[in-house]
């Protein structure tokens, strides 16, 4: 793999059940376990799927017309499976996008279904990784 393929973040504990996430560009955010306003890791997974799909669709359709509204809703069910492990099922991405009347808006509306399909089938790294699966190597280091 090329050196520019590596992506990483650092998660540091700030208190019990609360963590600060930092990316290589200096961005930070806090996450929690659902006892406060912070996003939980599952909510971040949903946000990552929606953000990735939304960005793909936005870049494709906005070449034709600027949207009047653009909202992505992502949902799923957190379950305990037969093996006793937690996981998400029934992941759904809903794109609620409107464009202005006129030729440009018509072109953007026409491109919307194909853009969503392209994101799902090949563009969105996050949803493709979730759907296809990828091993996670967990290591403990001193």
**pLDDT of the residue at 15:** 96
> Which residue's structure tokens are 């091993």?
135
Report which DSSP code applies to 5. G
Could you read off the pLDDT of 102-115 as tens digits, one per residue? 999 999 999 999 99
Partners of 65 in beta bridges: none
- Strands (E) across the chain are located at 9-15, 18-23, 28-32, 69-80, 86-98
- Cβ neighbors of 3 (< 8 A, separation 6 or more) are none
Q: What is the pTM of this model?
A: 0.92
Contact 29, 11 (CB under 8 A): no
* β-bridge pairing 86-98 and 69-80: antiparallel
Contact 24, 98 (CB under 8 A): no
Stretches where the chain sits below pLDDT 70 are 1-2
**pLDDT of the residue at 2:** 57
Contact 92, 64 (CB under 8 A): no
* Packed helices 103-118 and 41-61: angle between N→C axes, nearest 10 degrees: 130
């Amino acid at each position: 793999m090329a050196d520019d393929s590596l992506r990483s973040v650092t998660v540091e504990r700030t208190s019990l059940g609360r963590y600060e996430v930092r990316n290589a560009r200096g961005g930070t955010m806090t996450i929690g376990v659902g006892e406060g306003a912070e996003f939980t890791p599952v909510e971040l997974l949903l946000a990552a799927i929606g953000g990735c799909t939304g960005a793909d669709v936005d870049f494709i359709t906005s070449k034709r017309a600027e949207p009047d509204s653009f909202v992505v809703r992502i949902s799923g069910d957190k379950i305990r499976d037969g093996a006793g492990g937690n996981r998400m099922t029934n992941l759904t991405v809903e794109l609620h996008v409107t464009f202005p009347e006129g030729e440009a808006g018509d072109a953007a509306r026409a491109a919307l279904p194909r853009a969503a399909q392209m994101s799902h089938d090949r563009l969105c790294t996050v949803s493709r990784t979730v759907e296809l699966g990828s091993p996670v190597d967990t290591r403990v280091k001193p």
